[in-house]
Amino acid sequence: MKHRWLLLSVGLFFALVVAAVGAVAMAIAITYPRLPSLETLTDYRPKIPLRVYTADGVQIGEFGEEKRAFVPIGQVPLLMKQAILAAEDERFYQHGGIDYIGVARAAASNLLTGHAQSGASTITMQVARNFFLSSEKTFTRKFNEALLSFKIEHSLSKDQILELYFNQIYLGQRAYGFASAAQVYFGKSLAQLTPAEMAMLAGLPKAPSSYNPVVNPNRAKLRQQYVLRRMRELQFINEQQYQAALAESLHVRRSSESFPVQAEYVAEMARQALYDKYKEAAYTQGYKVYTTLLASHQTAAYEAARKGVLDYDRRHGYRGPEAYIELPAAGSDLQDKLEDHLADVKDAGDLVPAVVLSTSNTMVKVYLRGGTTAEISGKGLQFAARALSSKLQPSQQLRPGAIVRVQMGENGPQIVQLPQAEVAMVSIDPQNGAIRSLVGGFDFNRNHFNHVTQAWRQPGSSFKPFIYSAGIERGFTPATMINDAPLVIDPATIGGQRWEPKNFDGKFAGLMTMRDALTKSKNLVSIRILQAITPDYAQAYISKFGFEARNHPAYLTMALGAGSVTALQMAEGYSVFANTGYRVRSYFIDRIEDSRGQLIARTEPEVAGKNAPRTLDPRNAFIMTSMMQDVTRYGTAAKANVLNRNDLAGKTGTTNDTHDAWFAGYQPGLVAIAWLGFDQPRSLGGSETGGAAALPIWISYMGKALKGVPEYAYPVPDGVLTQPVETSRGTRNEYFYAEFPQTNPELGLDNTSTAAPQTMEEGVKDLLF
């Protein structure tokens, strides 16, 4: 009887097994043909963002929904692969898609602990889930995942599967794939990572939100330690490496948007250009845009522009804190509340927001993001010391709860403020128009408006060289004597407005050479030159430099820069002087490549002396350069002598009521333009001129950009004569067109204009040097 029951039980067991196997076989037979095609894997085309680089390969921008950088598995460092295997699937190269030993180990662990603590998903299973399935925890999804894993293992090699996993997995902070995560979290390439950093990244796939070192640094550290321990147990690292990795202090980037070179305005220009060409595909196809910027030039321009604005701002005093908050009561959540307040304040480069915690007559204690506090005193407090006075309005006082800006200086932290003025700085190669640096404003995060390409401003006296150039073409010479004397424009005959232009200093020098007049930026001389050649002629003439007539009405005020220009236009205009007379157009994209580095498009620039049109007589360009060299040696830009170079030329510019400060200058290999002003035009202050506000920016940039560049000796072109003439600085050899030798004419002895009067719609304005 017992044997019968035993046989019956065994038979029933085998029947159940057969039935189960049959059911599984039937499920497989039904499900397997319905599994998705693996074409997505075999023809893997991930969404790769648009990336923007300098000409020398430094990344300056990235645009796309997913941050991803595809890396072939053969280029992944061995230790990085081993860290991933130690964390996720140590038997990856041994199993066939499902790790039965791992399943048994996980089941035993879960039984012992009483809850699901360990999983048994292999890397292949994760690839199946990430590409084809949802994350829902159901038997059907798990069954399909297992079948897909077998299918993947049958169709792809182990390295191909690992490559897919390595580039597809989400790792937090919008980073997909380990190469992107290395940049996001540490600002490094894979080859630059330390074992400790590799272990930190390898620990992320299990739960990117929970083990994110930015959001949860403590949990991330525990996960990293686990990965390092597994790497040691699997002998991927030795004991010395293990201990060193445990002790290593990691420096995690808090902001994933920062790049080594600050060129946000150019990156945005590139994004707009690519979107116009490729629409939404621009953000997913992995295009690489190589601009014409040089990293060293861009850094120099960025630093010079920001320092110039901050120096200007400091000259005009501290205005007070940005805002005030109610300080929360001291307690365990004080830091969290302060962090919440500071999270609402935008960064501005190295001007970091802080909350004042306490003050005294000589010291201010502030709280900075990340739990740091700083005590500011001495020179660090000097700029804002006046705001400690209790006599000021509460809205101007430095008191607990004030939100201020702190900058790390040479002597420690110092209180500064966000400037209200804006800046533009651009430089181009005058031989081909390649933009070498471009700073479109003080801070891109605060103001996306590009002051280099979008801001139309009056150029003031920085426009005078184009009028002088027209005069030379009409027979004037640098030695022509012109009267710097009062002049009255009386347009009563046409119902206009009386105009009595003046020089900046209000003084008149009488007869002086054209060269001296430009050196000293004499307004009355410029007007008399324009009277002689006529505004209509000058309006047509300036097209040689790329200026459109519609932006420069044919009135006498054109002599003082009353039209409208952009900083980039000025750079192109001055390039004609710098390259001896060729009109080159600026460009900022050198080439576009696809995600595999194949060339898609390349700019073919206009090159001086080759395919660029000549618009100016080389003799004119040479003489004008010679005259503008005097501006930088003896005139309104004499501060440029600090650069100790003899090949620099340029012109200052300050508009009416000092609304705009300019300096435009060059040497044969580089033209640079600096501008400073307010978005809503208002006075920069009576003592602020192009020489005081804009020239220092230009000097700072050119000092670095021209370091190591040999001085250039300008050759005298054919058709130019030299004759000795008397000047305010003694006898010198002056340059003349061969057909216009020295005749020493005198122009403008009459103080009243009797020619047809010139007027503006709203009346004329004085535009000073």
Alpha helices in 534-617 (DSSP H): 535-541, 567-578
Q: Which of 614, 694, 239, 610 is nearest to 432 (CA)?
A: 610
Using a 10 angstrom Cβ sphere, with 0-12 exposed, 13-18 middle and 19 or more buried, the burial of residue 2 is: exposed
Asked if 407 and 379 touch (Cβ cutoff 8 Å), the reply is no
Phi, psi of 663 (to 5 degrees): -145, 130
Q: How far apart are CA 10 and CA 480, in angstroms?
A: 122
d(CA 322, CA 320): 7
Structure tokens at 622: 């040479």
Place of tokens 């950088």: 69
d(CA 82, CA 231): 7
Residues making up the chain, counted from first to last: 769
H-only helix segments in 169-263? 178-186, 195-202, 217-233, 239-247
Residue 482 near residue 747, CB atoms below 8 Å = yes
**CB 318, CB 383: distance < 8 Å:** yes
Tokens representing 138 are: 């159901």
Contact criterion met (CB below 8 Å) for 484 and 527 = no
Please state, in angstroms and rounded to a whole number, the distance separating the CA atoms of residues 296 and 348. 21
| Three-state secondary-structure class, residue 669 | coil
Q: Is 374 helix (H, G, I), strand (E, B) or coil?
A: strand
CB 88, CB 161: distance < 8 Å: no
Helices (H), 387-442: none
CA angle 670, 712, 468 (to 5 degrees): 65
Catalytic positions, please?
88, 461
Phi-psi region of 444 (alpha: psi -120 to 50; beta: other; left: phi over 0): alpha
According to DSSP, the residues that pair with 660 across neighbouring strands are 677
Structure tokens at 207: 């739960």
Rounded CA separation 575/742 (Å): 28
Residue 405 DSSP SS3: strand
The 3-state DSSP class for residue 72 equals coil
**What is the bridge-based pairing of β-strands 175-176 and 67-68?**
parallel
Whole-angstrom distance, CA of residue 481 vs CA of residue 394? 60
Distance CA 534, CA 674 (A): 30
- Reading the block at residue 330, the tokens are 């001291």
Q: Which two tokens stand for residue 737?
A: 């067109």
